[in-house]
Structure 1
Amino acid sequence: MIHAKQYGQTGDHLIILHGLFGNSDNWHSIAQKLSETFQVHCLDLPNHGNSSNLDVATYPNMANVIIEWMKQHNIRQSYLLGHSMGGKVAMQLASNAPERILKLIVVDISPVDYSPSHLEIFEGLKSIDLEATKTRADAEKQLEKYVSDLNIRRFLMKNLVKSEGLLKWRVALECLYNNYPTILKSPTLNEQYTKPTLFMKGELSNYILPEHKDHILNSFPNTDVKVLQGTGHWLHAEKPILFTSLIKRFCTT
């Protein structure tokens, strides 16, 4: 089961896929602005938010889940935007079912293998004793030993909710941890996606590098690249007005 939030009732469909440890709520403000032009669908990916768990979270498996969701909701074609891990899912989906994707937007990720960079986050989240922890502030204090960046801690804490008086995760920690080596891998891109594609990079981020150029063009030959100056990996949150205007311009021209 895929959980989704819809913004807007008119225009072409636009599906948004978040990154690792994210959920559909992260894109609320962006989706509101984009709903002036599109019917926006912010999805919780498997093992995140209110969507079901997926024990074997390969990129082909996750893409197939999204395709099934599109079929269930009678969405024949859509624009597709994915950030970070969600960008890899988006690339996989566009490769598997190009007839369903009008144009593709990949935000700050490349179709390559990455080195582990979230192990301390996993260790920190798994170290929190939810039965003995009463508030999100207490949980965040425990996480501080593992994650020094305040903005990242607050982002992660959005996955912690209270249910029947107890704290619980809205993310399948063990499942994600078990699948983390797979998540680091490149999507399995067997077919080229030849429709217009936009790769968006944060200037200060190292997720898209010059040496990734051939990997990108081999699978997405009709690619344009936009670099958002002064932004990092969360460029959509750092410069939302510029980000949304670029999306609208790309999709509607």
Structure 2
Amino acid sequence: MIHAKQYGQNLPPLVVLHGLFGNADNWHSIAQKWSEYFTVYCLDLPNHGQSSALDPVTFPAMADAINEWLEQEQLDHVYLLGHSLGGKVAMQLTSDRPEKIRKLIVADIAPVEYQPSHTKIFEGLQEINRHKPVNRKQADEILSAFEKNAGIRQFLLKNLKRTDQGHVIHLGLEELQKGYKTILKKPVLENDIDTPTLFIKGENSSYILPAYQAQTLQHFPHASVKMIPETGHWLHAEKPTVFTSLVKRFLTA
């Protein structure tokens, strides 16, 4: 089961997929702005937010889960946007079901394999679940031993949920950690993808590099790339106005 939040209605559908450890709520402010032009559906990926668990975690399986949701909602021709892990899932879905995707936007990720960079975060989130802290401040103190960046901790703690025993991280952590090696790999892209595609890079981010260009064009021969200056991997949060208008321009062109 895929959980979605809808913004607007009776306009061309735009489906938005968040990154690892995120959820649909990450896109709330931007989705409100887009809802003047599109019916926006912000989805929780499997093992995130209110969506069901998925094991094993693979790109084809995640894309299938999103496709089932599209069929259930009778959405057969959509704009698709994904950030980070969501971008990889979006590429997979576009490769598997090209007839359903009108245009694709991939935010700060490439169709390549990445090196592990979330190992300490997994440890920190597991530590919170072991200790079940009494409040958010205590959860942040536990996490700070594993992640020094306060902004990243704030993002991760959006998954904090109160229970009778204390606070826990509301994610499919076991499934995600078990599938992490697969998450780092490139999506399983079979053919050239003719879908009009825009890659958006954060200037200071290392997730899209010139070295990845050949591999990207191999799968997306007609792709274009835009860069947002003075942004990192969280480009949509750092420069929301620029990001929002860039997406709108590409989709309505």
TM category (shorter chain) comes to over 0.9
Q: Does structure 2 conserve the Cα–Cα contact (< 8 Å) formed by 1:103 and 1:251?
A: yes
Whole-angstrom CA distance in 2 between matches of 1:151 and 1:25: 16
Match of 2:197 in 1: 197
Query: What secondary structure is seen at the aligned counterpart in 1 of 2:215?
Result: helix
Match of 1:78 in 2: 78
Q: Does structure 1 conserve the Cα–Cα contact (< 8 Å) formed by 2:23 and 2:44?
A: yes
- The amino acid that maps onto 1:225 is V
**1:165–1:114 Cα change, 3 Å:** same
Structure 1 residue 130 displacement after superposition? 5.1
Structure 1 residue 56 displacement after superposition? 1.0
**Matching of residues 95-174 of structure 1 within 5 Å:** 95-129=95-129, 132-164=132-164, 166-174=166-174
Structure 1 residue 190 displacement after superposition? 0.2
- The amino acid that maps onto 1:157 is L
Whole-angstrom CA distance in 2 between matches of 1:129 and 1:44: 21
Structure 1 residue 167 displacement after superposition? 1.8
- The amino acid that maps onto 1:54 is L
Greater CA drift, 144-153 or 188-197: 188-197
**1:132–1:60 Cα change, 3 Å:** closer
Structure 1 residue 147 displacement after superposition? 0.3
Percent identity (aligned):
56
Whole-angstrom CA distance in 2 between matches of 1:14 and 1:100: 12
Whole-angstrom CA distance in 2 between matches of 1:129 and 1:74: 38
Do residues 185 (structure 1) and 193 (structure 2) align? no
Deviations 1:70-124 (A, max 9, x none): 0000001100000000000000000000000000000000000000000010111
Match of 1:19 in 2: 19
- The amino acid that maps onto 2:120 is E
In structure 1, the gaps of 5 or more residues are none
- The amino acid that maps onto 2:59 is Y
Structure 1 residue 10 displacement after superposition? 2.5
Whole-angstrom CA distance in 2 between matches of 1:23 and 1:208: 22
Structure 1 residue 166 displacement after superposition? 3.4
TM-score (norm 1): 0.98
Match of 1:209 in 2: 209
Deviations 1:184-209 (A, max 9, x none): 00000002211210000000000000
Whole-angstrom CA distance in 2 between matches of 1:64 and 1:100: 13
- The amino acid that maps onto 2:222 is N
In structure 2, the gaps of 5 or more residues are none
Structure 1 residue 137 displacement after superposition? 1.0
Match of 2:56 in 1: 56
Match of 1:230 in 2: 230
Do residues 32 (structure 1) and 29 (structure 2) align? no
Greater CA drift, 119-128 or 202-211: 119-128
Match of 1:176 in 2: 176
Structure 1 residue 168 displacement after superposition? 2.7
Q: Does structure 1 conserve the Cα–Cα contact (< 8 Å) formed by 2:12 and 2:78?
A: yes
Query: What secondary structure is seen at the aligned counterpart in 2 of 1:158?
Result: helix
* C-alpha RMSD over aligned residues: 1.1
Q: Does structure 2 conserve the Cα–Cα contact (< 8 Å) formed by 1:84 and 1:108?
A: yes
